Chain A
């Protein structure tokens, strides 16, 4: 089955700096890569996703890049703000009727004021 590794497990940045979180996946058949943000005690919420026919996608301060050859994808957050502090999860999914997601182990991002 699919295996997703996520690094780093914790990340502290100064407010206004950029943050980068990286994930690698094992199954070359995976073609959908979402990123979820989870605040303390809350449910995971989708913040951005990318499909394998695209190399990069941007949404305001958030961007995701995908390298299919190397089987890795990354989340980039620019101009970080204290409200960006949360746990971020990457995931990978294959096509198929169920399209189950396999999640990385999460990154605790802390933005220091």
Chain B
């Protein structure tokens, strides 16, 4: 049981490039979330999904898109990366109870 996994672990992008972050969970959880973590600001919700085929905006959605084509996967896309998107990105998933399980994170640098 791998729990929540994220790919890649690290990435460096140039301004304007695009990329997709993959989150996968093997716990059959309905709910999945993408957060970004910046120094001194805690974790902020980017987008979330309440089930396969659904997505919704969180607190800081601008510049990001998401898709949940399969229940176990939640993809986060950056269409045109900007230096302000340099951050650590965490994915999380949750069953019906409240606890969210986090993935190991992806450290993204945009130059």
In Å, the complex CA distance between A66 and B56 comes to 30
A100 and B45 within 8 A (CB): yes
B99 and A105 within 8 A (CB): no
- Of all chain A residues, the one with the shortest Cβ separation from B105 is A43
In Å, the complex CA distance between A23 and B30 comes to 29
Contacts of B104 in A (CB 8 A): 42-43
How many residues in B have their beta carbons less than 8 Å from beta carbons of A? 22
In Å, the complex CA distance between A106 and B41 comes to 7
Contacts of B45 in A (CB 8 A): 100-102
- Of all chain B residues, the one with the shortest Cβ separation from A42 is B104
A104 and B99 within 8 A (CB): no
A98 and B50 within 8 A (CB): yes
B40 and A100 within 8 A (CB): no
Task: Tell me which of A1, A34, A98, A105 has the highest count of chain B C-beta atoms within 10 A of its own C-beta.
Answer: A98
> Could you list some 19 contacts between A and B, CB below 8 A?
A1-B59, A32-B98, A34-B99, A44-B43, A44-B102, A46-B100, A49-B98, A93-B98, A97-B50, A98-B31, A98-B56, A99-B31, A99-B94, A99-B98, A100-B48, A103-B43, A103-B44, A104-B42, A105-B40
